[in-house]
Chains A and B, each alone.
Chain A
Amino acid sequence: MIAEAGLAALWLAAGLAGYQLVLMLLALRSDVEVVRPMRAVAVAQGVLTLVAFAMLLLVFANSDMSVKLVFENSNSAKPFVYKVAGAWGNHEGSMLMWVTILAVAGAFLALLSRRTSERTLVAALGSQAVLALGFYAFLLIASNPFARLFPAPPDGQGLNPLLQDPGLAFHPPTLYLGYVGLSVAFSLAVGALLTGEVDSRLARAMRPWVLAAWVLLTLGITAGSYWAYYELGWGGYWFWDPVENASLMPWLAATALLHSINVLAARGALKAWTMMLAVIAFSMSMVGTFLVRSGILTSVHAFAIDPERGTFLLALLAIYVGAAFILFALRGATLKEGAPFELVSRETGLVINNLLLSVILGIVFLGTLYPLFVEAISGEKLSVGAPYFNSVAGPLALLLAVLVGVGPLLSWRRQGRPVLRLLRAPALLATSALVITIILAPAIGILPRLGFTVAAFLASASILPLVGRNPLRAPLATWGMVVAHFGIAVALVGMAANGAFTSERLAIAEPGETLTVGPWLLQLKDVTPTAGKNFTALEAELRAARGEEIITLNPQTHYYSDPVTETNESSIRTFWNGQLYTVLGRADPSGGWQLRLWWKPFVTLIWAGGALIAFGGALALLGRVLRRRRRREPDWRERYI
C-alpha cells in the first residue's frame, strides 16, 4: 500500500500544480485576488511531494521487492544506509527527488517571500508550478518510481559494490539542491518579466535563493572533485569530463548571476542582463541534467541510450527555456535601465566580471557539446580534453582572478579616489611572488607561475575591503565576500603548486626496493593478499621516510567478482605542506609490482579554497537573511503599537 500511497500523493501534487497554473492565469488576466490560495496550494504541493518521496524511502528501507525500482536497484543484504540512498541512486528515484526539491522550494518561496509584490509572487509561484508540472508528467508517464512487479521476486539485483560509497550516496543530492535552487531564480525572473516589475526589490528577493544554490553547487563540485581525486587513482582533481562540466556550467552562470544581482539590488541597473542570467543559470541546470540522464554523452559500449526519457527531458528543456527566452524577447525592451554609472565604478567591474564568466561558460559549453555536433555533421569522432579547456579558459580565469581583487575596492557609480594607490601592497606582493618563483623555480610552466603571482595579488587585495575600518563592524555580507575571494586565491595556490611542483614516479619495484619521490624515500616492504566483505584484495606495505619522519602506507587493489571489476584504493597521507599519494598497480611479469607515487605539495589547498568559497557564500547568505530580519522589525512592531 505504501507505493500506492506515494503514487497517489504524486498525482494529487500534479493536480495542485495544474490548479496553480489556473490561478496564475486568472491573476494575470484580471485583478482577481489569488495570493492567499496560491500560497496555500504551493505549500500543499510541497508537502505532497515530500510524502511521495518519504514513501519511496520507506519501500527502499523495507526492501519491498514487489516494487520494480527496489528490485532493480536494491538488495536485502545491503547496508541500511545504502538501501535508503539507493532510493535516489537511479533514474526514477532521482527524478522524484528533483521534483520534490522543486515543489518544496516553491513552498518555501510561498511561505517566506515578503519582498516581492503579490502580483510577481503569484506569477513566480505559477511558473514554479509549471516547471513542476512537466516533471510530474515525466514521472507519471515515462518513469513511474512506484511501478509494481507481480509476482514479487525473492530478492533484488542491486548489489554493485562500486555504488556503495558515501560520496556517491550524498554527492548527487547536494548538486540537485543547487540545481533546483536556481529554479526559484528562474521563476522569479519569469514572474517579474510577466508583471514588468523588474526592480531592486526583486533582486533582493532573488538573492538569498541564488546564494544558497550557489553555495550548494560550490560544495557539490568541490566534493566531487576530491572524490574523483582519491577514487580514480590518477592524482588529478579535474578531468573536464562532460559530467563534471555539466555541474560547472550552472555554477559559472550562477556566479555571474550572483554578482549582477548585486548591481540590480543596489543600483537598479543591469535589469535585462540579470533576468537573462537567471534564465540561463537554470537552463544550464536542465542541460546538465539532460546530458547526464539521457546518456548521450557516455559512449562506447557503456550505457544504453533511452530515447524516450531523453526526448521527454529535451522537450521540457525546449519548452521552458524557449518560453522564457520568448518572454524575454517580448518584455526585455520595456525594461528601463536604472541609474547610470561611469567607466571606473563598481558597476563596470561587475559588468567585466559577468562578461568574463560568460565567455568562460561559453568555452566550457562549446567544448562539452562540440564532439556531439562534429560527429553529427561529419561522422568523425573526437574528444575535447584538458589542453583545450586549460589553454583557452585558463588565461581568462587568471585575468578574472586579478579583477576579483580590484572590483570590490571600487565604489558604486563613480570611483573618486585613484584605486591604484590602494593596490600598491598587493602589486608589490605579486611582483615579489613572480621574482621569487623565477629565482627559486626557473623551470616551471607559465600558467603555474602566473597562478602564484595572481594568487599573491588576490590574497592580499581580497582582504583590503576590511582594512581601514573596524572589521568587527563590517557587515557579514562583506565578510562573506572577502572570505570567498580569499578562497579563490587559496585554491589558485593549490592548483599552481600542484601544476608546478608535483613529483611523479611510475615504477616497477620488487619487495625491498627503495624509490624516491619528491623529498620522500619509499621502500616497498611487501605485497600481501587480504580479503574484504565482498572482494579480495592485494595490499602493499610501503615505508616512507622524510628526514626523521617515518610512516607506513597501505595502498590496495580490490577485485570484485560480481560484476568483474578491479579498483585501486589509493593510500594518501596529508601533511601541512602536501600529500603523499600512493597507488598499487599490477604484478609485473618480471616479479615486481607496479607502483604509482606522487608527492603533491599544497594540493589540499584546492579543496580548502573551494570550501572557503562556499563558506564565504554561506556567510553572505546569513548576513543577508539576518539583516532582512532586523530591517523588518520596525514594521512588525508598528502593528502592535
Chain B
Amino acid sequence: MSRGLRLIPIILLLWLVVGLAWRLVRPGDTAVPSQMVERTVPQFALAPGVAGKPGLGAADLATGQPRLLNVFASWCVPCVTEVRVLGELKRRGVRIDGIAVRDTPEALTAFLARNGDPYERIGADPQSETQIAFGSSGVPETFVIDGKGVIRRQYIGALKPSNIPGVLRELEQLR
C-alpha cells in the first residue's frame, strides 16, 4: 500500500473530528425556523382554552392591527417567565393572543391565575395540529402578525425583557 493511501484514514478522521468539534463548540441553533414566515396564517378555528375567554381562529388574526400570537402551555417551564414579559408588553398596548398546546382548562386557569393573563383570546390545541400548521416545533414560540394576517416574524423560545423594545419597534413599523 502506498503512503498516500495510508494517510487517507488520518485525513478522514481529522475532517470528522474538526467537524464534530465545531458542532460541539457552536451547537448552532437547534431551533427550526417556520416555513410560514411571510405567509398568511393557516386556516384554523380553535375552541376556547379557558372558560370565559373566546377561542381563536384565523379570522381573529387579520383585524387591521398588528398583534402577537404566543404558542405556549401551562406545563412549559420557560412559559412561566415569558408570560410576565408578555404582561409587560400588554401594559404597553400590545394585543396578544395565545394558543395553548396540549393543555387542560383547569391547568390553564391555574397557570393564568398564578402568573398573570396577557391574552385576549386563547385557543386550545390539544393535539398540536394548529401549532404544526404554523410551523412551530416547540413551546414557547411567538409570531408577529401584521394587520392582514401575514406572519412577519417568529421568535423561537421565551421572549425576554431585553426583547421588549425590539418587539415594540416591529409592531410600530407594521402599523
Contact surface of A with B, Cβ cutoff 8 Å? 272, 276, 280, 283, 287, 290, 294, 296, 299-302, 305, 307, 310-311, 314, 317-318, 321-322, 325-326, 328-329, 332-333, 369, 372-373, 375-376, 381, 563-564, 586
A-B contact pairs, 10 of them (CB 8 A): A311-B25, A314-B17, A314-B20, A328-B6, A329-B3, A332-B6, A369-B16, A372-B19, A376-B22, A381-B32
Whether A290 contacts B20 in the complex (CB less than 8 A), given A329-B10, A333-B3, comes out as yes
Task: Flag if A311 contacts B24 (CB, 8 Å).
Answer: yes
Q: Chain B 78-89, CB within 8 Å of chain A: the 1/0 string?
A: 000000000000
Q: Specify the chain A residue showing the minimal Cβ separation from B27.
A: A305
Interface residues of B in 133-166 (CB under 8 A from A): 137-138
Given A322-B13, A329-B7, 11 other A-B residues pairs in contact with their CB atoms under 8 A: A276-B9, A294-B24, A300-B30, A301-B30, A307-B25, A307-B27, A317-B17, A321-B13, A376-B22, A381-B32, A563-B75
Report the bound CA distance from A612 to B14 in whole Å: 39
Interface residues of B in 70-127 (CB under 8 A from A): 75, 102, 127
B175 adjacent to chain A (CB < 8 Å): no
Return A538 CB to nearest CB of chain B, in Å: 15
B51 adjacent to chain A (CB < 8 Å): no
Q: Specify the chain B residue showing the minimal Cβ separation from A272.
A: B1
B28 adjacent to chain A (CB < 8 Å): yes
Q: Specify the chain A residue showing the minimal Cβ separation from B2.
A: A333
Whether A564 contacts B75 in the complex (CB less than 8 A), given A311-B21, A314-B21, A325-B13, comes out as yes
B169 adjacent to chain A (CB < 8 Å): no
Return B135 CB to nearest CB of chain A, in Å: 12
Q: Specify the chain A residue showing the minimal Cβ separation from B20.
A: A314
B24 to chain A: which residues have CB within 8 Å?
294, 296, 305, 307, 310-311, 314
Task: Flag if A322 contacts B10 (CB, 8 Å).
Answer: yes
B19 to chain A: which residues have CB within 8 Å?
369, 372-373, 376
B22 to chain A: which residues have CB within 8 Å?
376
Whether A301 contacts B138 in the complex (CB less than 8 A), given A318-B13, A325-B13, A333-B1, comes out as yes
A283 to chain B: which residues have CB within 8 Å?
13
Return A528 CB to nearest CB of chain B, in Å: 21
B30 to chain A: which residues have CB within 8 Å?
299-302
Return A304 CB to nearest CB of chain B, in Å: 9
A314 to chain B: which residues have CB within 8 Å?
17, 20-21, 24
B127 to chain A: which residues have CB within 8 Å?
586
Task: Flag if B6 contacts A329 (CB, 8 Å).
Answer: yes
Q: Specify the chain A residue showing the minimal Cβ separation from B4.
A: A329
Report the bound CA distance from A373 to B14 in whole Å: 14
**Most chain B Cβ neighbours within 10 Å, of A276, A329, A332:** A329
Return A611 CB to nearest CB of chain B, in Å: 34
Report the bound CA distance from A318 to B24 in whole Å: 14
Return A103 CB to nearest CB of chain B, in Å: 26
**Most chain A Cβ neighbours within 10 Å, of B14, B21, B23:** B23
Q: Specify the chain A residue showing the minimal Cβ separation from B74.
A: A564
A287 to chain B: which residues have CB within 8 Å?
16
Query: How many of chain B's residues touch chain A, expressed as a range?
Result: 20 to 34
Task: Flag if A300 contacts B6 (CB, 8 Å).
Answer: no
B102 to chain A: which residues have CB within 8 Å?
564
Q: Specify the chain A residue showing the minimal Cβ separation from B104.
A: A564
Looking at the complex, which one of A296, A325, A333 makes contact with B9 (CB distance below 8 Å)? A325
Q: Specify the chain B residue showing the minimal Cβ separation from A373.
A: B19
Report the bound CA distance from A376 to B22 in whole Å: 8
Return B81 CB to nearest CB of chain A, in Å: 16
Interface residues of B in 14-49 (CB under 8 A from A): 14, 16-17, 19-25, 27-28, 30, 32
Report the bound CA distance from A280 to B27 in whole Å: 27
Return B107 CB to nearest CB of chain A, in Å: 9
Report the bound CA distance from A329 to B9 in whole Å: 9
Report the bound CA distance from A311 to B25 in whole Å: 8
Report the bound CA distance from A623 to B17 in whole Å: 40
Query: 10 closest A-B pairs (Cβ-Cβ)?
Result: A301-B138, A329-B6, A318-B17, A310-B24, A325-B10, A325-B9, A305-B27, A299-B30, A332-B6, A300-B137
Report the bound CA distance from A564 to B108 in whole Å: 14
Return A284 CB to nearest CB of chain B, in Å: 11
Whether A375 contacts B28 in the complex (CB less than 8 A), given A300-B138, A314-B20, A333-B1, comes out as yes
Whether A376 contacts B13 in the complex (CB less than 8 A), given A301-B137, A314-B20, A332-B1, comes out as no
B32 to chain A: which residues have CB within 8 Å?
300, 381
Task: Flag if A326 contacts B10 (CB, 8 Å).
Answer: yes
A322 to chain B: which residues have CB within 8 Å?
10, 13-14, 17
Task: Flag if B3 contacts A372 (CB, 8 Å).
Answer: no
A372 to chain B: which residues have CB within 8 Å?
19-20, 23
Report the bound CA distance from A151 to B41 in whole Å: 52
**Most chain B Cβ neighbours within 10 Å, of A290, A301, A381:** A301
A290 to chain B: which residues have CB within 8 Å?
20
Return B139 CB to nearest CB of chain A, in Å: 8
B28 to chain A: which residues have CB within 8 Å?
375-376
B6 to chain A: which residues have CB within 8 Å?
328-329, 332-333
Q: Specify the chain B residue showing the minimal Cβ separation from A381.
A: B32
Report the bound CA distance from A287 to B19 in whole Å: 13
Report the bound CA distance from A482 to B24 in whole Å: 45
Return B160 CB to nearest CB of chain A, in Å: 17
Report the bound CA distance from A332 to B9 in whole Å: 12
Report the bound CA distance from A310 to B27 in whole Å: 11
A375 to chain B: which residues have CB within 8 Å?
28
B137 to chain A: which residues have CB within 8 Å?
300-301
Return A383 CB to nearest CB of chain B, in Å: 11
B14 to chain A: which residues have CB within 8 Å?
322
**Most chain A Cβ neighbours within 10 Å, of B14, B17, B24, B32:** B24
Task: Flag if A296 contacts B20 (CB, 8 Å).
Answer: yes
Q: Specify the chain B residue showing the minimal Cβ separation from A377.
A: B19
Report the bound CA distance from A326 to B17 in whole Å: 15
Return A129 CB to nearest CB of chain B, in Å: 22
Task: Flag if A296 contacts B27 (CB, 8 Å).
Answer: yes
Return B33 CB to nearest CB of chain A, in Å: 8
Report the bound CA distance from A351 to B71 in whole Å: 57
Return B143 CB to nearest CB of chain A, in Å: 17
Return B29 CB to nearest CB of chain A, in Å: 9
